[in-house]
Amino acid sequence: MYATKLTGRIAIITGGSKGIGFGCAQVFAKHGASVVIASPFEEDGLSAEKALTQNGATAWWVRTDVNHEEQIRSLIETTIARFGKLDIMVNNAGWHPPAAEIDDIPLAEFESILRLNLTSTFLGCKLAVPHLRQSRGCIINVASLVGMLGQGKAVSYVTSKAGQIGLTKALAMDLAPDGVRVNAVCPAGVDTPMMREWAATLDNPDEALKKEDANHALGRMATIDDIGEVCAFLASDEARFITGQEICPDGGASLGYQRW
């Protein structure tokens, strides 16, 4: 039976059909929220919706490509039409391109990553804010630890994630008087389909995943539910005095420990 600290809350999660987004969706539902799953992929979206509703949650897939402003606007408007309010906006949709030196990154590719990862976050915030002011709700932007520390051969991705963190801090200042909190979640490695797709491009995928686990002081990557629980905390009243922060559920990856 679903109920607890997010009971009665309405949450939109972009990229909510798989990976971290689905982790947020199932954890939010566990804690009582009604979840709107935004994804452009019908099969994944309906599967995620079914996985939640068959366990008693309120979940609804809405086809959304966050590259397009009008689709984000429609997502929010249809959510308001169905549920009457919006309490939580999770900007999670994004992609990590293959490793590349800056010499080999065309401008169009760089701009496309910024559009998908950063501009969509700006639009999600902008279009949700009028409704979040009414509910005194919150925004959670899913960024990355590499947006703070950097990453080799990932200029486009790191730039987009650093931009999300800057956007979070600026917007937190602007919206604090309205009682709207804005935070960024910055994971290190997370065991997602995207992570496994990346590993599959390498000569030894299993070894790559083991190395990724070992990069964390706790000895493993995060699960999607690990990140979902952090986001659920930030969305709840338990985090009512937290805004403008980059929260790093990184398993100690940023500490640089050598494990012997």
- Closest CA relative to residue 86, chosen from 73, 77, 95: 77
pLDDT band at 258 (very low <50, low <70, confident <90, very high): low
Residue 1 is predicted with a pLDDT of 47
Tell me, yes or no, whether 29 and 139 share the same domain: yes
Residue 200 is predicted with a pLDDT of 85
Tell me, yes or no, whether 162 and 214 share the same domain: no
H-only helix segments in the chain: 19-30, 42-53, 69-83, 107-113, 120-135, 146-149, 155-175, 193-200, 205-214, 224-235
Whether residue 182 lies inside any domain: the answer is yes
Tens-place pLDDT, residues 106-163: 999 999 999 999 999 999 999 999 999 999 999 999 999 999 999 999 999 999 999 9
Whether residue 149 lies inside any domain: the answer is yes
Tell me, yes or no, whether 41 and 58 share the same domain: yes
Residue 257 is predicted with a pLDDT of 55
Position 259 pLDDT exceeds 60: no
Range of the domain at 89: 10-187+223-249
Position 36 pLDDT exceeds 90: yes
Tell me, yes or no, whether 43 and 118 share the same domain: yes
Question: What is the number of domains present in the chain?
Answer: 2
Whether residue 4 lies inside any domain: the answer is no
Residue 83 is predicted with a pLDDT of 98
Position 2 pLDDT exceeds 70: no
Whether residue 148 lies inside any domain: the answer is yes
- Closest CA relative to residue 139, chosen from 105, 179, 107: 179
- The residues assigned a catalytic role are 157
Tens-place pLDDT, residues 195-205: 998 788 788 99
Q: Pairing state of beta strands 88-91 and 59-63?
A: unpaired
Position 50 pLDDT exceeds 70: yes
Contact 62, 122 (CB under 8 A): no
